[in-house]
Amino acid sequence: MERTGWNVEEVEHNRVVLERILAFLVALAALADRVAGLPTPIRLPVLAILGRGEAAARALVTGLAHELGVPACPVAALPAADEAGRLAARLRVLALMLGTILAWVSCLARSLSDVADGWAGSPVSQPALATLQASPAPPRAPDTS
């Protein structure tokens, strides 16, 4: 996989853009749900466009997760009655993954900022700092199967 250069500072710097992408993923999932009941000549082209968007979002989110060392949730085999439902579910999982990454990075950035501001001088914070430096991985996303 090609290195994208993402790190905690880059994610914090691009937080607004990534939050807009997260909102857009949720909106695309809602659109995929609404398309499910449309006639085939209308549904198929819309699903094709949404599918391309989902593929691009999957590349972004999984690449970001990989760069940050966050475990990525598989989005390929989600149960649903039809293709529109599966696409909507995959888009929601990507939004959940991106939201989890943003929350984790925000928490980590605040912790590192507190350390830089001298918060680490207290005896209580030393074990917390050691834990942050030893294992910066966030909690796993819930299993949606």
| pLDDT-derived band at 49, boundaries 50, 70, 90 | very high
Does the predicted model carry a pTM greater than 0.85? no
Instruction: State the burial class of residue 119 (Cβ atoms within 10 Å of its Cβ: 0-12, 13-18, 19+).
Output: middle
Percent of the chain with pLDDT over 70: 64
| DSSP codes joined into one string, 6-59 | --HHHHHHTHHHHHHHHHHHHHHHHHHHHHTTS-HHHHHHHHHHHHHHHHHHHH
Handedness of CA 20, 22, 28, 31 (dihedral sign): negative
The reported pLDDT for the residue numbered 23 is 93
**Cβ atoms 32, 91 nearer than 8 A:** yes
* Positive/negative CA dihedral, 121, 108, 68, 127: positive
Contact criterion met (CB below 8 Å) for 94 and 84: no
- Of 79 and 46, the structure prediction assigns the larger pLDDT to 46
- What number is the average pLDDT over the span 91-103? 90
Condensed to tens digits (0 to 9), the pLDDT of residues 79-95 reads 656 888 889 989 999 99
Average pLDDT, rounded, for the chain: 76
pLDDT band at 35 (very low <50, low <70, confident <90, very high): very high
Residue 127 has pLDDT above 70, yes or no: no
